[in-house]
Amino acid sequence: MEDLMVKLREANIGKVLMNEPLKGHTTMKIGGPADLFIEPNSVESVKQVLELVNEAGVPWRAIGRGSNLLVLDGGIRGVIIKLGEGLDDLEINGCEVRVGSGFSLISLATIISKKGLSGLEFAGGIPGSVGGAVYMNAGAHRSDISKILVKAYCVFADGSSGWLSNEEMQFSYRTSVLQKIKPGIVVEAIFRLKKGDRETIVKEMQKNKDYRKETQPWNFPCAGSIFRNPLPHYAGQLIEEAGLKGYQIGGAKISDLHGNFIVNTGNATAQNVLDLIHYIQQIIMEKYSIKMETEIEIIGGK
Protein backbone atom coordinates (compact mmCIF):
# COMPACT_ATOMS: atom_id res chain seq x y z
CA MET A 1 0.00 0.00 0.00
CA GLU A 2 2.89 2.36 0.75
CA ASP A 3 4.35 1.74 -2.72
CA LEU A 4 1.01 2.68 -4.25
CA MET A 5 0.83 5.80 -2.08
CA VAL A 6 4.28 6.88 -3.26
CA LYS A 7 3.32 6.38 -6.93
CA LEU A 8 0.09 8.33 -6.49
CA ARG A 9 1.85 11.23 -4.79
CA GLU A 10 4.53 11.28 -7.49
CA ALA A 11 1.78 11.44 -10.11
CA ASN A 12 0.44 14.62 -8.44
CA ILE A 13 -3.17 13.51 -8.85
CA GLY A 14 -4.52 15.34 -5.78
CA LYS A 15 -4.85 14.55 -2.08
CA VAL A 16 -3.45 11.18 -0.93
CA LEU A 17 -3.77 10.14 2.74
CA MET A 18 -3.16 6.91 4.66
CA ASN A 19 -5.49 5.57 7.36
CA GLU A 20 -7.91 8.48 6.97
CA PRO A 21 -10.98 8.16 9.29
CA LEU A 22 -14.10 8.14 7.13
CA LYS A 23 -16.40 9.53 9.81
CA GLY A 24 -15.24 12.93 8.60
CA HIS A 25 -16.40 12.12 5.08
CA THR A 26 -19.92 10.77 5.70
CA THR A 27 -23.09 12.63 6.64
CA MET A 28 -23.71 10.10 9.41
CA LYS A 29 -20.32 10.97 11.00
CA ILE A 30 -19.56 7.26 11.38
CA GLY A 31 -16.86 5.10 9.84
CA GLY A 32 -13.45 3.53 10.42
CA PRO A 33 -10.30 4.45 8.47
CA ALA A 34 -9.52 3.82 4.81
CA ASP A 35 -6.13 2.26 4.12
CA LEU A 36 -5.68 4.86 1.40
CA PHE A 37 -7.86 7.93 0.80
CA ILE A 38 -7.57 9.77 -2.51
CA GLU A 39 -9.26 12.98 -3.66
CA PRO A 40 -8.42 13.39 -7.38
CA ASN A 41 -8.09 16.95 -8.71
CA SER A 42 -9.37 16.33 -12.28
CA VAL A 43 -11.09 13.86 -14.58
CA GLU A 44 -7.70 12.80 -15.94
CA SER A 45 -6.53 12.21 -12.37
CA VAL A 46 -9.44 9.82 -11.77
CA LYS A 47 -8.32 7.79 -14.78
CA GLN A 48 -4.74 7.83 -13.54
CA VAL A 49 -5.79 6.75 -10.05
CA LEU A 50 -7.72 3.76 -11.38
CA GLU A 51 -4.84 2.79 -13.64
CA LEU A 52 -2.38 2.75 -10.72
CA VAL A 53 -4.82 1.11 -8.29
CA ASN A 54 -5.71 -1.64 -10.78
CA GLU A 55 -2.03 -2.16 -11.56
CA ALA A 56 -1.40 -2.68 -7.83
CA GLY A 57 -4.37 -5.07 -7.59
CA VAL A 58 -5.88 -3.12 -4.70
CA PRO A 59 -9.69 -3.00 -4.16
CA TRP A 60 -11.32 0.44 -4.40
CA ARG A 61 -14.60 2.28 -4.30
CA ALA A 62 -15.72 5.84 -4.92
CA ILE A 63 -17.70 8.15 -2.65
CA GLY A 64 -19.08 11.66 -3.02
CA ARG A 65 -20.34 13.66 -0.04
CA GLY A 66 -20.88 10.48 1.95
CA SER A 67 -24.67 10.66 2.16
CA ASN A 68 -26.62 7.43 1.69
CA LEU A 69 -23.59 5.58 3.07
CA LEU A 70 -22.73 3.60 6.20
CA VAL A 71 -19.03 2.83 6.63
CA LEU A 72 -18.46 0.02 9.12
CA ASP A 73 -16.27 0.47 12.20
CA GLY A 74 -13.41 -1.62 10.83
CA GLY A 75 -12.98 0.81 7.96
CA ILE A 76 -12.00 0.07 4.38
CA ARG A 77 -9.28 -2.31 3.27
CA GLY A 78 -8.05 -0.76 0.08
CA VAL A 79 -8.66 2.60 -1.56
CA ILE A 80 -11.41 5.20 -1.19
CA ILE A 81 -11.65 7.67 -4.06
CA LYS A 82 -13.52 10.81 -3.03
CA LEU A 83 -15.03 12.92 -5.80
CA GLY A 84 -15.01 16.51 -4.58
CA GLU A 85 -12.88 19.56 -5.30
CA GLY A 86 -11.39 19.41 -8.78
CA LEU A 87 -14.49 17.64 -10.08
CA ASP A 88 -16.96 20.42 -9.35
CA ASP A 89 -17.04 22.48 -12.56
CA LEU A 90 -20.33 23.95 -13.76
CA GLU A 91 -21.29 25.19 -17.22
CA ILE A 92 -24.78 26.37 -18.18
CA ASN A 93 -25.69 26.77 -21.87
CA GLY A 94 -29.35 27.64 -22.33
CA CYS A 95 -31.35 24.69 -20.99
CA GLU A 96 -28.35 22.36 -20.91
CA VAL A 97 -26.20 22.01 -17.79
CA ARG A 98 -22.80 20.31 -17.75
CA VAL A 99 -21.60 19.65 -14.20
CA GLY A 100 -18.84 17.75 -12.40
CA SER A 101 -19.66 14.82 -10.16
CA GLY A 102 -18.29 16.54 -7.05
CA PHE A 103 -20.76 19.44 -7.27
CA SER A 104 -23.35 19.64 -4.48
CA LEU A 105 -26.80 18.63 -5.74
CA ILE A 106 -28.52 21.15 -3.43
CA SER A 107 -26.24 23.95 -4.69
CA LEU A 108 -26.90 23.00 -8.31
CA ALA A 109 -30.67 22.97 -7.75
CA THR A 110 -30.48 26.39 -6.10
CA ILE A 111 -28.34 27.94 -8.85
CA ILE A 112 -30.41 26.74 -11.76
CA SER A 113 -33.74 27.57 -10.09
CA LYS A 114 -32.59 31.20 -9.84
CA LYS A 115 -31.92 31.12 -13.58
CA GLY A 116 -35.51 30.07 -14.29
CA LEU A 117 -34.65 26.50 -15.27
CA SER A 118 -37.06 23.76 -14.20
CA GLY A 119 -36.42 20.06 -13.61
CA LEU A 120 -34.35 19.88 -10.45
CA GLU A 121 -36.85 21.28 -7.96
CA PHE A 122 -37.16 17.79 -6.43
CA ALA A 123 -33.47 17.90 -5.41
CA GLY A 124 -33.74 21.00 -3.25
CA GLY A 125 -33.10 19.08 -0.04
CA ILE A 126 -31.06 16.07 -1.21
CA PRO A 127 -27.66 16.39 0.52
CA GLY A 128 -25.50 14.42 -1.91
CA SER A 129 -23.24 15.12 -4.86
CA VAL A 130 -24.17 15.10 -8.54
CA GLY A 131 -22.11 11.95 -9.13
CA GLY A 132 -23.78 10.04 -6.32
CA ALA A 133 -27.21 11.24 -7.45
CA VAL A 134 -26.64 9.94 -10.98
CA TYR A 135 -25.08 6.69 -9.72
CA MET A 136 -28.14 5.83 -7.62
CA ASN A 137 -30.83 7.71 -9.59
CA ALA A 138 -31.65 9.93 -6.62
CA GLY A 139 -35.16 11.26 -6.45
CA ALA A 140 -37.97 12.75 -4.39
CA HIS A 141 -41.40 14.29 -4.87
CA ARG A 142 -42.29 11.92 -7.74
CA SER A 143 -39.27 12.81 -9.84
CA ASP A 144 -35.66 11.64 -10.15
CA ILE A 145 -32.41 12.06 -12.05
CA SER A 146 -33.53 9.81 -14.91
CA LYS A 147 -36.07 12.49 -15.93
CA ILE A 148 -33.38 15.07 -16.74
CA LEU A 149 -30.10 13.26 -17.49
CA VAL A 150 -28.90 13.39 -21.10
CA LYS A 151 -25.68 11.45 -20.54
CA ALA A 152 -22.96 10.80 -17.98
CA TYR A 153 -19.21 10.57 -18.49
CA CYS A 154 -17.89 7.59 -16.54
CA VAL A 155 -14.59 5.95 -15.74
CA PHE A 156 -15.18 2.21 -15.53
CA ALA A 157 -13.62 -0.35 -13.22
CA ASP A 158 -11.34 -1.69 -15.97
CA GLY A 159 -9.89 1.79 -16.53
CA SER A 160 -11.78 2.54 -19.73
CA SER A 161 -14.00 5.62 -19.94
CA GLY A 162 -16.79 7.09 -22.01
CA TRP A 163 -20.26 8.60 -22.14
CA LEU A 164 -23.36 6.61 -21.21
CA SER A 165 -26.69 7.87 -22.52
CA ASN A 166 -29.79 8.02 -20.36
CA GLU A 167 -30.95 4.74 -21.91
CA GLU A 168 -27.57 3.07 -21.38
CA MET A 169 -27.66 4.04 -17.69
CA GLN A 170 -30.58 1.57 -17.32
CA PHE A 171 -32.20 3.62 -14.58
CA SER A 172 -34.78 2.16 -12.25
CA TYR A 173 -35.82 2.97 -8.68
CA ARG A 174 -32.62 4.17 -6.90
CA THR A 175 -30.56 2.09 -9.32
CA SER A 176 -28.35 2.44 -12.39
CA VAL A 177 -26.20 0.16 -14.53
CA LEU A 178 -23.11 1.38 -12.66
CA GLN A 179 -24.03 -0.35 -9.42
CA LYS A 180 -23.68 -3.96 -10.54
CA ILE A 181 -23.74 -4.58 -14.28
CA LYS A 182 -21.07 -2.10 -15.40
CA PRO A 183 -19.23 -0.82 -12.30
CA GLY A 184 -17.82 2.65 -12.67
CA ILE A 185 -17.48 6.21 -11.43
CA VAL A 186 -19.56 9.14 -12.68
CA VAL A 187 -17.20 12.07 -13.22
CA GLU A 188 -19.44 14.42 -15.21
CA ALA A 189 -23.11 14.74 -16.15
CA ILE A 190 -25.16 16.64 -18.69
CA PHE A 191 -28.74 17.52 -17.76
CA ARG A 192 -31.46 18.99 -19.97
CA LEU A 193 -33.90 21.29 -18.18
CA LYS A 194 -36.84 23.44 -19.24
CA LYS A 195 -37.34 27.17 -19.14
CA GLY A 196 -40.01 28.29 -16.73
CA ASP A 197 -41.15 31.07 -14.48
CA ARG A 198 -38.27 31.85 -12.11
CA GLU A 199 -40.47 32.80 -9.19
CA THR A 200 -42.60 29.64 -9.49
CA ILE A 201 -39.54 27.39 -9.73
CA VAL A 202 -37.79 28.98 -6.73
CA LYS A 203 -41.01 28.75 -4.70
CA GLU A 204 -41.47 25.06 -5.57
CA MET A 205 -37.89 24.22 -4.66
CA GLN A 206 -38.12 26.12 -1.40
CA LYS A 207 -41.34 24.26 -0.58
CA ASN A 208 -39.50 20.95 -1.07
CA LYS A 209 -36.61 22.16 1.12
CA ASP A 210 -38.99 23.30 3.85
CA TYR A 211 -40.87 19.98 3.71
CA ARG A 212 -37.62 18.11 4.32
CA LYS A 213 -36.68 20.37 7.22
CA GLU A 214 -40.10 19.86 8.82
CA THR A 215 -40.33 16.09 8.32
CA GLN A 216 -36.73 14.84 8.34
CA PRO A 217 -34.07 15.05 11.07
CA TRP A 218 -31.32 17.01 9.35
CA ASN A 219 -30.30 18.56 12.68
CA PHE A 220 -28.69 15.19 13.52
CA PRO A 221 -26.02 13.31 11.55
CA CYS A 222 -27.84 10.80 9.35
CA ALA A 223 -27.50 9.06 6.00
CA GLY A 224 -30.91 9.86 4.51
CA SER A 225 -33.56 7.19 3.96
CA ILE A 226 -32.36 3.87 5.35
CA PHE A 227 -34.76 1.57 3.49
CA ARG A 228 -36.14 1.43 -0.03
CA ASN A 229 -39.91 1.82 -0.15
CA PRO A 230 -41.39 -1.70 -0.52
CA LEU A 231 -44.02 -0.35 -2.92
CA PRO A 232 -46.98 0.03 -2.74
CA HIS A 233 -46.02 0.52 0.93
CA TYR A 234 -43.78 3.24 2.33
CA ALA A 235 -40.88 2.30 4.59
CA GLY A 236 -41.32 5.19 7.02
CA GLN A 237 -45.03 4.56 7.41
CA LEU A 238 -44.52 0.85 8.12
CA ILE A 239 -41.88 1.62 10.75
CA GLU A 240 -44.10 4.23 12.40
CA GLU A 241 -47.16 1.94 12.40
CA ALA A 242 -45.02 -0.76 14.03
CA GLY A 243 -44.39 1.68 16.90
CA LEU A 244 -40.65 1.87 16.32
CA LYS A 245 -40.09 5.64 16.15
CA GLY A 246 -37.68 6.68 18.88
CA TYR A 247 -36.32 3.15 19.40
CA GLN A 248 -32.60 3.30 20.18
CA ILE A 249 -29.59 0.98 20.27
CA GLY A 250 -26.46 2.60 21.66
CA GLY A 251 -26.06 5.99 20.00
CA ALA A 252 -28.22 5.06 16.99
CA LYS A 253 -31.88 6.05 17.13
CA ILE A 254 -34.90 5.80 14.84
CA SER A 255 -35.85 9.43 14.30
CA ASP A 256 -38.83 10.84 16.19
CA LEU A 257 -39.61 12.84 13.06
CA HIS A 258 -39.46 10.17 10.34
CA GLY A 259 -39.45 6.39 10.71
CA ASN A 260 -37.14 5.78 7.75
CA PHE A 261 -34.27 7.77 9.26
CA ILE A 262 -31.70 6.54 11.75
CA VAL A 263 -29.79 9.35 13.46
CA ASN A 264 -26.46 9.44 15.24
CA THR A 265 -27.24 10.98 18.63
CA GLY A 266 -23.57 11.71 19.20
CA ASN A 267 -21.61 8.54 19.85
CA ALA A 268 -23.16 5.91 17.58
CA THR A 269 -21.04 3.17 16.08
CA ALA A 270 -21.75 1.55 12.73
CA GLN A 271 -22.55 -1.64 14.66
CA ASN A 272 -25.28 0.25 16.56
CA VAL A 273 -26.80 1.28 13.24
CA LEU A 274 -26.51 -2.23 11.79
CA ASP A 275 -28.17 -3.74 14.87
CA LEU A 276 -31.00 -1.23 14.57
CA ILE A 277 -31.44 -1.97 10.86
CA HIS A 278 -31.65 -5.71 11.56
CA TYR A 279 -34.12 -5.12 14.40
CA ILE A 280 -36.40 -3.07 12.12
CA GLN A 281 -36.22 -5.74 9.41
CA GLN A 282 -37.13 -8.43 11.93
CA ILE A 283 -40.11 -6.54 13.38
CA ILE A 284 -41.55 -5.52 9.98
CA MET A 285 -41.24 -9.10 8.71
CA GLU A 286 -42.97 -10.43 11.83
CA LYS A 287 -45.78 -7.87 11.73
CA TYR A 288 -46.41 -7.45 8.01
CA SER A 289 -44.46 -10.24 6.21
CA ILE A 290 -42.66 -7.53 4.23
CA LYS A 291 -38.94 -7.71 3.50
CA MET A 292 -37.20 -4.37 4.08
CA GLU A 293 -34.20 -3.75 1.82
CA THR A 294 -31.69 -1.05 2.61
CA GLU A 295 -31.37 1.99 0.36
CA ILE A 296 -28.11 3.10 1.97
CA GLU A 297 -24.90 1.40 0.90
CA ILE A 298 -23.11 -0.48 3.67
CA ILE A 299 -19.36 -0.84 3.09
CA GLY A 300 -16.24 -1.85 4.96
CA GLY A 301 -15.41 -4.37 7.68
CA LYS A 302 -16.69 -4.76 11.22
Active site residues: 174, 225, 295
Q: Do β-strands 149-156 and 184-192 pair in parallel, antiparallel, or remain unpaired?
A: antiparallel
Q: Quote the CA–CA distance of 47 and 155 in Å, as a whole number.
A: 7
Contact assessment for residue 32 and residue 76, using Cβ atoms and an 8 Å cutoff: yes
Sign of CA dihedral 52, 54, 57, 62: positive
Strand duo 149-156 + 143-144: pairing: unpaired
**Cα–Cα distance list, 76 to 29, 46, 69, 191, 301 (Å):** 15, 19, 13, 33, 6
Q: How many angstroms separate the first and last alpha carbons of the chain?
A: 21
* Spatial distance between the Cα atoms of 206 and 202, rounded to a whole number of angstroms: 6
Tell me how far apart the alpha carbons of residues 50 and 183 are, in angstroms, rounded to a whole number.
12
Instruction: State how far the Cα of 195 lies from the Cα of 141, in Å rounded to an integer.
Output: 20
φ/ψ (deg, to 5) at 58 = -100, 135
Report H helices in 136-269.
198-215, 235-241
Task: Tell which residue, 243, 245, 254, 242, has the closest CA to residue 289.
Answer: 242
DSSP 3-state assignment of 218? coil
